[in-house]
Structure 1
Amino acid sequence: MKRLGYRKSRNGCLRWVGIGAEATDKRALINNYVATTDPFPYFSRFLTDLNKTETASGWISDLELMHHYTSVSYQTFSNSSVGQKTLQYDVPREALSYSFLLHQILAFSAYHLAYLQPECRHVYLMQAAQHQNDAINGMRGTLLGTITPTNCNALFASSIFLTLSAFATYPSYEKHNPSFSPIDSILDIFTLTDGMSVILRTSDEDLRKGPLREIFIRGAGDATPTTVEATLQPLFDRLPGLSTQLTEIGALEHEGKYIIVNAIIALSKCIAKVSTVNAMSAPVEFRAVFLWPIMMSTDYLDSLRQRQPAALVVLAHYCVIVHLADAFSGWDALGRADNVAHGDDWSWWPKGAAGQHGSCNAYCSLTLTAACG
């Protein structure tokens, strides 16, 4: 067989250089295709590009994280003994069959330890990012298939931990990243929450019969409407007049008024629903934090992206709920900061409401700052 000819080059054999370039071009095309056809784009904002030399998660550190979760962290978002039992025993047991849930539990625990031990913050945040990357990649693979009565429980639990971890990721970013935007970050969380809600919508009946069913137990009072939860009553009373107030100060544009009014109505309905449905697993503030993003419209999200003042005012009122939920958890699972907004006529109430319970929440105060300029 005739031998292939070649010419020497300072950069190597020209024939093989050409083949390598062609392969590189093909890989780039494939990567671009995958990027543009990602069925779960809401995950990408919560993946961290880790330096391989920095990733250090051994079995001893993983045991520390699991021990911390089963002894401490599980208590931070349920005030029910039944719900806490499920979070402490049943969720980790389910994680033994689904590694993505196990990784997300460990990530959540690492975020908690990063808050509790600031001197070791970097180490725990690295562990959290590594486990969360593994969890998201595992969830992607499972969601590409079929959501079944068997895997829906692990997917649902993972989505809850992922959303809480997403909130926990951001609180200190404004201290370390000058380009940090609290509004963009919370928009990412809203998109994630809405994307994850498909698991609950498609598997509600299976979840209520599955190994995590205790989370969905309802107490007395579900049959008939009850009064609004006392902690949310001041906010609930204020919302009906908010659109009128915004109109009076000229913050509502005619073409966008319908969008803002609907967002305010959705927030009122959210508070009423979590107060009426007496779920024992989590306090009403936590359930409201998760529910409103599912109820809001894409038009309202677009208004937030455009930094429309009226949309930001509504968001600031939602952040009062976030702050109340954070006060229950006892750690910055939902984020906080000491930045204080400059006061416009409409900004005093959310700041004051949050201030009654401690330092103003990061998203509340920073959002108001962005709106005021």
Structure 2
Amino acid sequence: MPSRRSHTKSRKGCSECKRRHVKCDEGAPKCSLCKKRKLECVYPPPNSDADSPRGSSIAQDGSDSGALTPGGDSPWQTRMVEMRLFHQYLTATYHTLAQDGLSGYHLSISIPRMATSFPYLLDSLLALSALHLATAEPENRRLMVDAALRYQSQACSGLGKVLSDISPPDYEPAFVSSIFIMLFATGLPVVSLENRPVDPLSAVLEVRTLITGCAMLFNRINEMGTDGELDSWLCVPETEERLTEKKAQEYDPLQANDFIDPDIESFSSDDSLEDISKLFDLHRSIMQSLEQLRSTVDTPTSPNQGLYQTTWKLLWQAIEPWPKIGSHGGVISWPLFITDEYLNLLQNGDWMARVLFLHYGVAMRLLCNRWYVRDWGRRLVMATLEPLGEIPPEWSATISWMKQAVEIRS
């Protein structure tokens, strides 16, 4: 019987060979495997613990650009990546989540401090930061999305274990983690530039499930009856969307209509202001369309009239306060309140249910300046309309308006 061929482990091999568990020939500047497969060939630092099984599968390549490359497996490499993502959150990502009335202190101080004691919250924070970094560094988009997915998976797994028998100390960190996970799920398709077809109903059901989890934890916090670390942050009754970071100090959303309406042309030289004016125009046109739709909803010609009226009211309450979030959580939270009966009508092709849903898609364009939403509303509307074929005459004008409305610049 032939003896088994011995295998000498390559302790100085490249990260890609280590990931694949194959021997590296340690060629320079690329080993033969990476050269053959046209992969990036990165060697771990000389002093790193290259054989440690506990590290992350993401590493820093040591180049001046600070680009991240997959394949590292040492604790040192994992720590460097996580420090970079934590820094990204503290210097950039939290700013994109902050809103007028919601203290940046909680987002930049309380939540990061809390994350150091609750691993699932830390993982969800790192996942969201990696996804945000993917938008800022297009050249590292794939690597950052891979990192984001890895931390998101760990966050979901950790949170799931906590939720099975949750206790008061976990209420707040679990609530924040669930928000980060929801924002991640919303942003992943647009950040990763996925071209796969969108199933509108499935997308809304996924958002609904995630928001339901957030709402459940929020209720637990309110029922706890004690002052938590996020108490003053979560109890602000009405908060305002910050339309753009650039205009935050010079632009008052409460006075936006008066500020913009007199003469749009006078602000055309300022792109940021022009985009803001388009959002306010879009908001007004959505509210006008809903007002016109109300007469149809109130006409007692269908056994589903009560369901239509309830759904219309929820939609109005979600959209009307913009740019404030309002007591119902704003546009992004609308799926939380819709009923299973309405979803059944939508699934069965009921046109009134469909038109109401399309208004939600158009309203999501009001959030297109946020990196985790971007053109999600447009994709939702177009994916809903694409398979419909011929539009009933009574809805043709409304559908035509919707197609134009979702094409505003992100």
Pairwise TM-score range, normalised by the shorter structure: 0.5 to 0.7
- With over 3 angstroms needed to count, the CA separation of the structure-2 counterparts of 1:120 and 1:220, relative to structure 1, is closer
Cα deviation, residue 354, structure 1: 4.1
Taking the aligned partners of 2:363 and 2:153, their CA distance within structure 1 comes to: 29
Taking the aligned partners of 1:71 and 1:202, their CA distance within structure 2 comes to: 31
Greater Rg over alpha carbons, structure: 2
**Which of residues 204, 213, 228 is equivalent to 1:195?**
213
5+ residue gaps, structure 1, are 1-51, 222-226, 360-373
Taking the aligned partners of 2:221 and 2:82, their CA distance within structure 1 comes to: 30
Percent identical across equivalent pairs?
22
Q: Which amino acid aligns with 1:258?
A: G
| Aligned counterparts, 1:8-157, within 5 A | 58-80=78-100, 83-148=103-168, 150-157=169-176
Taking the aligned partners of 2:256 and 2:362, their CA distance within structure 1 comes to: 14
Taking the aligned partners of 1:114 and 1:309, their CA distance within structure 2 comes to: 38
1:325 alignment partner in structure 2: 367
Cα deviation, residue 265, structure 1: 1.4
1:32 alignment partner in structure 2: none
2:376 aligned with 1:336, yes or no?
yes
Range moving further from structure 2, 115-124 or 127-136? 115-124
In 1, are the aligned partners of 2:365 and 2:377 still within 8 Å (CA)? no
Q: If each structure's helix is expressed as a fraction of its own residues, which one has the higher value?
A: 1
In 1, are the aligned partners of 2:95 and 2:104 still within 8 Å (CA)? yes
Taking the aligned partners of 2:213 and 2:71, their CA distance within structure 1 comes to: 29
**Which of residues 325, 331, 335 is equivalent to 1:289?**
331
5+ residue gaps, structure 2, are 1-56, 59-69, 240-253, 258-279
1:47 alignment partner in structure 2: none
Query: Aligned pair count?
Result: 289
Q: Deviations over 1:283-333 (max 9, x none)?
A: 559931343222211112233334443323212212233221232x3x244
- With over 3 angstroms needed to count, the CA separation of the structure-2 counterparts of 1:200 and 1:290, relative to structure 1, is farther
2:227 aligned with 1:209, yes or no?
yes
**Which of residues 338, 348, 362 is equivalent to 2:400?**
348
**Which of residues 254, 265, 268 is equivalent to 2:313?**
265
Cα deviation, residue 337, structure 1: 7.8
Taking the aligned partners of 2:400 and 2:225, their CA distance within structure 1 comes to: 42
Taking the aligned partners of 1:238 and 1:143, their CA distance within structure 2 comes to: 41
In 1, are the aligned partners of 2:134 and 2:141 still within 8 Å (CA)? yes
SS in 2 for 1:146: coil
2:286 aligned with 1:235, yes or no?
yes
In 2, are the aligned partners of 1:165 and 1:333 still within 8 Å (CA)? no
SS in 2 for 1:346: helix
- With over 3 angstroms needed to count, the CA separation of the structure-2 counterparts of 1:229 and 1:184, relative to structure 1, is farther
Taking the aligned partners of 1:337 and 1:176, their CA distance within structure 2 comes to: 15
Answer 1 or 2: higher relative contact order, Cα 8 Å, separation at least 6. 1
In 2, are the aligned partners of 1:112 and 1:333 still within 8 Å (CA)? no
- With over 3 angstroms needed to count, the CA separation of the structure-2 counterparts of 1:335 and 1:161, relative to structure 1, is farther
Cα deviation, residue 175, structure 1: 4.4
1:171 alignment partner in structure 2: 190
Q: Deviations over 1:347-366 (max 9, x none)?
A: 233344444x525xxxxxxx
Taking the aligned partners of 1:62 and 1:334, their CA distance within structure 2 comes to: 26
Taking the aligned partners of 1:194 and 1:64, their CA distance within structure 2 comes to: 32
Structure-2-length-normalised TM-score: 0.60
Taking the aligned partners of 1:334 and 1:208, their CA distance within structure 2 comes to: 37
Q: Deviations over 1:9-45 (max 9, x none)?
A: xxxxxxxxxxxxxxxxxxxxxxxxxxxxxxxxxxxxx
Taking the aligned partners of 1:287 and 1:208, their CA distance within structure 2 comes to: 23
In 1, are the aligned partners of 2:238 and 2:327 still within 8 Å (CA)? no
RMSD: 3.7
- With over 3 angstroms needed to count, the CA separation of the structure-2 counterparts of 1:155 and 1:338, relative to structure 1, is closer
Cα deviation, residue 86, structure 1: 1.1
